[in-house]
Amino acid sequence: MAGTTVADGGLVLRAFDVAATAAGIETEGPDRDTARKYVLDTMGQSKIAVFRALLGDEDRAEQGNRAFEAAYEALIDEADITPIPGAVEAIRALRAAGVKVALTTGFSRSTQDRLLNALGWNDIADLTLAPSDAGRGRPYPDMVLTALLRLGVDAVDQVAVLGDTTSDIGTGLAAGARIVAGTLTGAHDEDQLRAAGATHVVASVTEFAELVLADRT
């Protein structure tokens, strides 16, 4: 969602800084710089997995993750969270054409629900999924495959995946989706997305919807 269909004004990094301090990572210096770079590189992955990799201790990872979720949810109320331009229209166009739409996230279910509520998006998609709904988060294929099963899609080659991070690309490829597209509205640039194996790179979700609809004709 964030960076692909939703612009959150850099809320992930702001919430991470709060959480990193709570987990005992020094506020300045090489450890914090390394942690920030890792968060950027792994953007889109399940946040608890990111904290486990950074902290190497389950208790501290869970503490950091709880702090992240609390900070993100608190900041939602003061941040300028808006749909990526054209996102609502793109989703509606896909659904009107009979394409099932699932919105996935690396956040917890409660944080995703807060985000959906803030946008008024509770009914915009056919399905919404967080890692806890599927098993594992990105870059594993679980959320894509769970969406396929729950929405009654007949085969993985009838699935198209869009995301703004290399983790999204890894998820789509691992699931066997026919289209695994990167969008330039979020965390990673075209070179990173193509290096990760994206089948397409699009300017935004609007172009992705056009790609999917053209692929069906």
What percentage of residues in the chain have a pLDDT greater than 90?
51
Runs of H (alpha helix) within 27-130:
30-41, 47-55, 58-76, 87-96, 109-119
| Cα gap 124→121, rounded to integer Å | 5
Average of per-residue pLDDT across 157-177? 95
For residue 83, which phi and psi values (nearest 5 degrees)?
-65, 145
Higher pLDDT, 103 or 3: 103
Higher pLDDT, 60 or 149: 149
- pLDDT confidence of residue 97: 95
- pLDDT confidence of residue 68: 84
Beta-ladder partners of 99:
none
Q: Which of 16-30, 117-131, 175-189 has the lowest mean pLDDT?
A: 16-30
Beta-ladder partners of 183:
202
Residue type, 3: G
pLDDT at 217 over 70: no
pLDDT digit string (tens) for 134-154?
988 888 999 999 999 999 999
Higher pLDDT, 207 or 188: 207
pLDDT digit string (tens) for 76-118?
777 778 899 999 999 999 999 999 999 998 888 888 898 898 8
Read off the pTM: 0.84
Higher pLDDT, 179 or 16: 179
| Cα gap 156→176, rounded to integer Å | 6
